[in-house]
Amino acid sequence: MSHDHKIEKAWQALRTEAIESLLNDIGVLDSAEVDAVVHHYEENVGPRTGARVVAKAWVDPDFKARLMADGLAACAELGIGGPETELLHVLENTAQVHNVVVCTLCSCYPWPILGLPPVWYKSSAYRSRLVREPRKVLHEMGLSLEDEVEIRVWDSVSEIRYLVLPQRPEGTEGLDEAQLAELVSRDSMIGVAHLQPYTGKGA
């Protein structure tokens, strides 16, 4: 199986090299531009951006109200925005309601807020199962929810994007916004994880 895996990657790597070199030759693009985009996604965008939004919402009730009303406008206050997101709805997780996001048709995801999605988010298993048996999927991923908790699955197949606002963990009363942002995981903003109570010992 791992042998087949390597063969597959080899032909795709070779074909990619052929396409990129030809696009350079005919002047459609310059590989330096592509390098810059790679750098942007590796270094500049990612879940730390979303974590800033979440932490601010926890400490600033007025910001939270604006975020819930118009997610993109509130993110713009923090200088956050970009392609692939034209309207952002924020979903607040509570003790009674748990929100979780998927795209069953492709892999729509709020790139400017969370960066690029992880492989599992794009996998056939997640896309096929989350809308039908989320309790079971979340349990397998390490998040067990009581039957009393209402699960809301958001299948984001339009151009509206979704960000989950996780519950603020216990034990964080004394932390400031920057310290809180450090605690917010990508998975909690997709809705497949809770944040653990804070003990001051670090993750």
Partner 1 sequence: MNGIHDMGGLHGFGPVKVDPDEPVFVTRWGSRIFCMTQVIDRLGVWNLDEHRHEIELMRPQDYLEWSYYGRWMFAMERILDRRNILSTAEINRRVDELSAGLKHLTPPEHPQRNWPLKDQDKVPWGAWRKDVEVTPVFHVGQQVRVRNIHPPGHTRVTSYTRGKVGTVERVNAQAWVFPDTRAHYRGENLQPVYTVRFSAQTLWGDEHAEANLFIYIDLSENHIEAAGDQQNES
Q: Return the number of the residue (163 or 175) whose C-beta is nearest partner 1.
A: 163
List, as one string, the DSSP characters of 163-177. EEEPPPPTT-TT--H
Residue of 69, 76, 123, 182 that binds partner 1 (CB under 8 A): 123
User: Do 83 and 111 meet the contact criterion of CB atoms below 8 Å apart?
Assistant: yes
Integer Cα distance of 116 and 93 in angstroms: 22
Integer Cα distance of 58 and 181 in angstroms: 10
**75 catalytic residue (yes or no):** no
**128 catalytic residue (yes or no):** no
Scanning residues 182 to 201, which ones bind partner 1 (CB under 8 A)? none
136 in contact with partner 1 (CB under 8 A): yes
Taking the complex as a whole, how short is the minimal distance between the CB of residue 39 and partner 1, in angstroms?
9
User: Do 186 and 114 meet the contact criterion of CB atoms below 8 Å apart?
Assistant: yes
User: Do 190 and 114 meet the contact criterion of CB atoms below 8 Å apart?
Assistant: yes
Q: Return the number of the residue (181 or 190) whose C-beta is nearest partner 1.
A: 190
Scanning residues 42 to 71, which ones bind partner 1 (CB under 8 A)? 42, 46
Integer Cα distance of 169 and 180 in angstroms: 9
* Residue 100, amino acid: V
Taking the complex as a whole, how short is the minimal distance between the CB of residue 36 and partner 1, in angstroms?
8
94 in contact with partner 1 (CB under 8 A): no
The one catalytic residue among 75, 103, 156, 188: 103
* # residues contacting partner 1 (CB under 8 A): 72
